[in-house]
Amino acid sequence: MLKYTIRRILSSLPVLFGVLVVTFTLARVIPGDPCKAMLGEKATQEVCDRFMEEKGLNDPIPQQFAAYLKDLARGDLGTSIRFRRPITQILVERLPTTIELGFAGLFLASLIGIPLGIISALRHNSPIDLATMVGANIGVSMPVFWLGLMLAYVFALVLKDTPLWLPPSGRLTAGVVSVPFYEVWGWVADGEEAPRLLQFIANHYIFNSFITGQWDVLKDAIRHLILPSVALATIPMAVIARMTRSSMLQVTNMDYVRTARAKGLRESAVVMRHAFRNALLPIVTIIGLQLGILFSGAILTETIFSLAGVGRSLFEAITARDFPIIQGFTVVIAIGYIIVNLIVDLSYGFLDPRIRLD
């Protein structure tokens, strides 16, 4: 198991290196003068020369790449040209937004998609099955940005002054503050800055308010997350429902399922323990593959619901030619990608004992 894990990590290194090369190259070939983009069109040649010199942008490209790799190895992602702040600090603030959104989206998609797929398979060719499949087809065809805007219109405007009203933007209502757990528990003295890791954890508002018992904040944060995560979850939900259905259809005709039924097991035990467990492998694979869709969706969802997450920041950085942010964020996302794929691969061994990983 350990051997396989190490081999698997090593085999993803070339891809990671490729990602670094592509990101670095893309960031360099994006047209436009970073100096003019950051300091404004009126920046004089002299000011620009000094700026380029300071940022190391005049060095030969291979030298810039080597310097970049060296910093990266030390965990230093550089400093944003636009915000003049360390990238890691910006990540500490913005990554939790995207993580919460992504988790909520995936949770919702699985929570609804898997049962719908199971029911469709069990009631094959019934009206429920037909409706689910029509719904799934519509779901995968849905433009995320359109769904997001229409949800905002319905829940923030049409249902205004009803209990169903939901906020259309931001993570918390203005005035509501999520007090970090390390302050609640007195880990960090007042006025002192907490370590970045603690800040990063505390910036997951839902998690933070849950463990510290700030129920009003928790409720507010969840209410703000509902619309974006529904918009984000639609396509993955449809994909998961389809995959669950076809995977379940395949196993329900197997001999061992018939045997389980024949020996008089309760239907729920047959479905969950004998059929679903064996149908799980392709479902887990497809859930893992949703990460790319989720992140692409996050760029759009964060734009629509005014969430300062990684997706929107990255989009803005690309249009503003903020190279360090483009590089830093992309690397973090690519690593996240590789980790998730690794987890999916490793989970096969647990789900199907026939698969030996070493």
Partner 1 sequence: MSTKPEPTSDVNIEITKHRSEGPWRIALRRLLRQRSGIAGMIILGFLLFAAIFAPVIAPYDPNEVLIGKEPVKKRAKPCIHLLGCPEDQPQHIMGIDGNVRDEFSRIIYGARISLRVGFLTIGFAIIVGTILGTIAGYAGGWVSNVIMRVLDVLLAFPFLLLAIAIVAVLGPGLINAMLAIAIINIPVYARVSRASVLAVKEDEYVTAARAIGASPTRIITQHILPNSIPPLIVLATLGIGTAILETAALSFLGLGAQPPDPEWGAMLASERNQVFSAPHLVFFPGLAIMLTVLGFNLLGDGLRDALDPRVRID
Contacting residues toward partner 1, per CB under 8 A: 14-16, 18-19, 22, 26, 29-31, 125, 137-138, 140-147, 149-150, 152-153, 156-157, 291-293, 295-296, 299-300, 303-304, 314-315, 318-319, 326, 330, 333-334, 337-338
In whole angstroms, the minimum distance from the beta carbon of 294 to partner 1 comes to 8
Backbone angles phi, psi at 123, to 5 degrees: -105, 55
Q: Taking the chain, what is the end-to-end CA distance rounded to the nearest angstrom?
A: 6
In whole angstroms, the minimum distance from the beta carbon of 169 to partner 1 comes to 12
Of 210, 185, 181, 214, the C-alpha closest to 198 is 181
CA 250, 256, 259, 263 torsion-angle sign: negative
Asked if 234 and 147 count as a contact pair (C-beta separation under 8 A), the reply is: yes
In whole angstroms, the minimum distance from the beta carbon of 139 to partner 1 comes to 10
Q: Closer CB to partner 1, residue 204 or residue 312?
A: 312
Q: Closer CB to partner 1, residue 239 or residue 280?
A: 239
In whole angstroms, the minimum distance from the beta carbon of 26 to partner 1 comes to 5
In whole angstroms, the minimum distance from the beta carbon of 145 to partner 1 comes to 5
Asked if 282 and 247 count as a contact pair (C-beta separation under 8 A), the reply is: yes
In whole angstroms, the minimum distance from the beta carbon of 71 to partner 1 comes to 21
**Which residues have a Cβ under 8 Å from the Cβ of 198 and sit 6 or more positions away?**
180, 182, 187, 188
Asked if 182 and 335 count as a contact pair (C-beta separation under 8 A), the reply is: no
Asked if 104 and 309 count as a contact pair (C-beta separation under 8 A), the reply is: no
Q: Closer CB to partner 1, residue 147 or residue 248?
A: 147
Angle at the Cα of 47 from the Cα atoms of 41 and 52, rounded to 5 degrees: 95
Q: Closer CB to partner 1, residue 144 or residue 284?
A: 144
Angle at the Cα of 238 from the Cα atoms of 233 and 243, rounded to 5 degrees: 125
